Copies of this chain bind each other. A is one copy, B any other.
Amino acid sequence: QHAHELLIKGGTVVNAHHKEVADVYVEDGIIASIGPNIVQVGDEVNIIDATGKYVMPGGIDPHTHLEMDFMETATIDDFFTGQAAALAGGTTMHIDFVIPINGDLSAGFESYVSKAKKSVMDYGFHMAITKWDEAVSKDMEVMVKEHGINSFKFFMAYKGALMINDELLLHGLERCKSLGALAMVHAENGDAVAEGQKRMIDLGITGPEGHALSRPPILEAEATARAIRLAGFVNTPLYVVHVMSIDAMEEIAKAKKSGQRVIGEPVVSGLVLDDSWLWHPDFTTAAKYVMSPPIRKAGHGEVLKAALSAGILQLVGTDHCTFNSTQKALGFDDFRKIPNGVNGIEERMHLIWDTMVETGLISVTDYVRITSTECARIFNIYPQKGAILEGSDADLIILNPNASFRVTSASHHSRSDTNVYEGRTGKGKVEVTISRGRVVWEDDTLKVTPGLGRYIKMKPFSYLFDGIEKADAAYLASLSAPVQRSRASS
């Protein structure tokens, strides 16, 4: 299909700040105009009728792991299958985590550039920091200034592997601040997790349920509270990935109330699932729910959804990180060896719509905010992404609120042979997905071309950094220090 022009007629066009019935005209992958009754310009314009449907910015998934080497294996979805799944579910961009190679950021970056060559939609990169030395510190600057990375993630868990201690975290936070890059944390107390794992094994609890039992919410809350306070001490914004528990959310809520800039990212599995699956007698079934931090007991999800509706938590990710059942089986005798991760990149948009919009928790504009706009603003690519405004990229979806969806591994687009949402149905269906002006999903059919996905560079100093310097200056001015003193005195 060739058409460079596209006209979407009669839908309710939704932005995070407003919704209205309007037409949307797209030219060369860019939104050219929005308004009532746009008249068709040329012959080749592809016209889509969206009457009675919502035209929204495509979803942006802030948290994915495609083709990642992890726990002696690699995630089974790569930049082709993972993105294909995304598009089929209404997500038109994702931000993946570059993992350094032996701590080397540049090597890691090159590796991901290569992995991403087969991309079928736009994507960006975060980068993990897994050790600390001068080279790492310098490479961070290179990543920010040359390679379009504006966020770095620190692991407070995975002892002996990715985990960093408080001293390094402090250095990392300070470095991020000076570069205008957003610090992200995987927040669990890794020392205690290791103790908890040992405790379970000692108790003979070696199955998937041991995974949840070994790292309870208290350990997530601890690390979340610690990261928040250290970021507050440094005065730099913080992004907490995969907020899974009420306990962690409460820490974020408290910090935000005091004016601190903390972003909390729940993931869809934490919002709509509970940990009872981990007790399933069938190992394959139980193991597919193993991720870290663990999916929590029933009740956490509802509270997280409320916090999300209120803006206490700000956007929804997936932590899409898939392993098939053969891979999961590596941990049959020891849950510590089950590769951690669940799917979600294809299901996120549908599940959030069904459990939050259809239940009245949030408005349609809120939906756009938490699935797309907020992510674009945080990672400083708004309004290129995350909006339906003139000049924005034409990453769009058309959602029919009266249609319904059904999830099953038989029909999903991930390469995984299982799906943690197996059998789930709900209201609302992404009927059309448009990636930079091209219709890539329609009539339940994908039309994608490897290599057409672009890497989106993300500039530092997003809105989260506005005023940080002024606040620092005001702080210094408030100290009434140093006090002048002479040695001779009473």
**Chain B residues near A468 (CB-CB < 8 A):** 360
Of residues 256 through 284 on chain A, the ones whose CB sits less than 8 Å from some CB of chain B are: 256-259, 279-284
Q: Are B209 and A191 in contact (CB under 8 A)?
A: no
Q: Are A312 and B482 in contact (CB under 8 A)?
A: no
Q: Are B222 and A481 in contact (CB under 8 A)?
A: no
**Chain B residues near A463 (CB-CB < 8 A):** 363, 365
Q: How many copies does the complex hold?
A: 4
Q: How far is the CB of A469 from chain B (nearest CB, A)?
A: 7
**Chain B residues near A310 (CB-CB < 8 A):** 256-259
Q: Are B257 and A306 in contact (CB under 8 A)?
A: yes
Of residues 345 through 385 on chain A, the ones whose CB sits less than 8 Å from some CB of chain B are: 357-366, 373, 377, 382-383
Q: Is the CB of A42 closer than 8 A to any CB of chain B?
A: no
The number of residues on chain A lying at the interface, defined by a beta carbon within 8 Å of a beta carbon of chain B, is 95
Q: Are B196 and A233 in contact (CB under 8 A)?
A: yes
**Chain B residues near A44 (CB-CB < 8 A):** none
Q: Is the CB of A28 closer than 8 A to any CB of chain B?
A: no
Q: Is the CB of A467 closer than 8 A to any CB of chain B?
A: yes
Q: C-beta contact mask, A198-211 vs B, less than 8 Å → 1, else 0?
A: 00100111111110
Q: Known: A16-B17, A167-B191. Is A363-B210 also a contact (CB below 8 A)?
A: no
A195 to chain B: closest residue by CB: B170
Q: Is the CB of A490 closer than 8 A to any CB of chain B?
A: yes
Select which of B195, B207, B285 is within 8 A of A481 by beta carbon. Answer: B207
Q: Is the CB of A166 closer than 8 A to any CB of chain B?
A: yes
**Chain B residues near A114 (CB-CB < 8 A):** none
Q: How many angstroms from the CA of A281 to the CA of B210 in the assembled complex?
A: 39
A and B contact pairs by CB, cutoff 8 A, 22 listed: A18-B383, A170-B195, A192-B230, A203-B482, A209-B479, A219-B233, A222-B229, A225-B226, A257-B310, A259-B305, A281-B483, A281-B485, A282-B485, A282-B489, A283-B485, A284-B489, A286-B483, A357-B467, A359-B470, A359-B471, A360-B468, A364-B466
Select which of B285, B325, B361 is within 8 A of A471 by beta carbon. Answer: B361
Q: How many angstroms from the CA of A207 to the CA of B481 in the assembled complex?
A: 9
For the complex with contacts A207-B481, A282-B489, A360-B469, 7 further pairs of A-B residues with Cβ separation under 8 Å are A195-B233, A256-B310, A259-B306, A280-B483, A284-B489, A284-B490, A285-B490
Q: 5 nearest interchain CB pairs? A: A360-B471, A360-B470, A259-B306, A363-B466, A360-B467
